[in-house]
Amino acid sequence: MREFVFTVEYERGVDEVMDLFIENPDLHSKTMAIHATSESMWRLDRLTGPTEALEAFDEVIEQATRCNGVLGMCGAPVVEWEYEVLSETPNGRIVYSCREEGDGIQSIPHVAAKHIGDGLLMQAERRGAQNQWRLLISDDDTVSEIYEEVKDSLSDGLSLSVQRISEPECWLEEGVSADGLPPEQQAALEAAVEFGYYETPRQHTVQEISEELDIPNSTLQYRLTRAEAWLARQFVTDTLGTEVEERVDPEKLEASA
């Protein structure tokens, strides 16, 4: 299987929902599940962000689901849109939605479903002006077909870039895994937690913990610093923004396929 990662970028004023993400950089949406057939698309999304931004999101979506003039990403009219908040906190939502689009060129999940068929797996993530998609695809010919159809059918004000076509990287695990953290750094973190180093107020200093472990203070501090930096990078990569990678030249994409 191959992982096809690409991003659709929105200009301000093109899409009311995406305008909220552009205006609120801390607003973030990531799919928990997304499925599509040639007739409909349904998905489960986790949204996080400031309370005010989430409340504005609720209002925009409620209005959109009642409006007959809503258009899909590629210009197809949305003929039916069901939306429900399954879980709500001041800084988070888990929402279910199901959409059916009318005649014409349809949105990305429908394009993917048409070319991939049974077994379609995809993810989507929104932050700022970007909506990033990940698809699992079995052959490069399908990659090229999806890319060409999406590129040719995007509405005005939307642009497409490709991040990578590679072995799957982001599907096997969700969240932070300690597999890439050296054992001595894992042990340092475990000891710091055990001795209350991260409590407020702090129960023990690095010096005190290093004496208990019988290792130099500088060694423990180094291991903690390295482990904390690794955790921060993992957190940002796995749970926050979309990937920032060198964009793939469309001509190279066509050549590779």
Residues 78, 38, single domain; the answer is yes
* 247 within domain boundaries: no
Residues 47, 117, single domain; the answer is yes
Residues 8, 109, single domain; the answer is yes
Convert the pLDDT of each residue in 186-220 to its tens digit: 889 989 999 999 999 999 999 999 999 999 999 99
Candidates 101, 128, 112, 122; CA nearest to 10 is: 128
Number of neighbours of residue 186 by Cβ within 10 angstroms: 13
Residues 88, 121, single domain; the answer is yes
Burial degree of 75 (CB within 10 A; 0-12, 13-18, 19+):
middle
User: In this model, does residue 244 exceed pLDDT 50?
Assistant: no
* 223 within domain boundaries: yes
Convert the pLDDT of each residue in 128-148 to its tens digit: 999 999 999 988 889 999 999
Yes or no: say if 26 and 50 are a contact pair by the CB < 8 Å rule: yes
Q: Which residues are paired to 36 by β-bridges?
A: 41
How far apart CA 62 and CA 24 sit, in angstroms, is 19
Residue 242, pLDDT score: 46
How far apart CA 138 and CA 65 sit, in angstroms, is 35
Residues 99, 126, single domain; the answer is yes
Helices vs. strands in the chain: H and E counts, helices first: 8, 8
Residues 158, 211, single domain; the answer is no
Candidates 176, 177, 204, 175; CA nearest to 192 is: 204
- Domain limit, last residue, from 141, 166, 191: 166
Cis-peptide into 216, omega within 30 deg: no
Convert the pLDDT of each residue in 5-24 to its tens digit: 999 999 999 888 899 999 99
Residue 248, pLDDT score: 59
- Domain limit, last residue, from 142, 166, 190: 166
Residue 2, pLDDT score: 86
The tokens describing 246, both together, are: 């060198």
Residues 187, 148, single domain; the answer is no
How many folded domains does the chain comprise? 2
How far apart CA 81 and CA 116 sit, in angstroms, is 24
Convert the pLDDT of each residue in 26-41 to its tens digit: 899 999 889 888 788 8
Residues 218, 147, single domain; the answer is no
Residues 51, 115, single domain; the answer is yes
Of 15-24, 39-48, 67-76, 106-115, where does mean pLDDT reach its minimum? 67-76
- Domain limit, last residue, from 118, 141, 166: 166
* 17 within domain boundaries: yes
What is the extent of the structural domain holding 49? Answer: 2-166
How far apart CA 78 and CA 41 sit, in angstroms, is 11
Yes or no: say if 168 and 123 are a contact pair by the CB < 8 Å rule: no
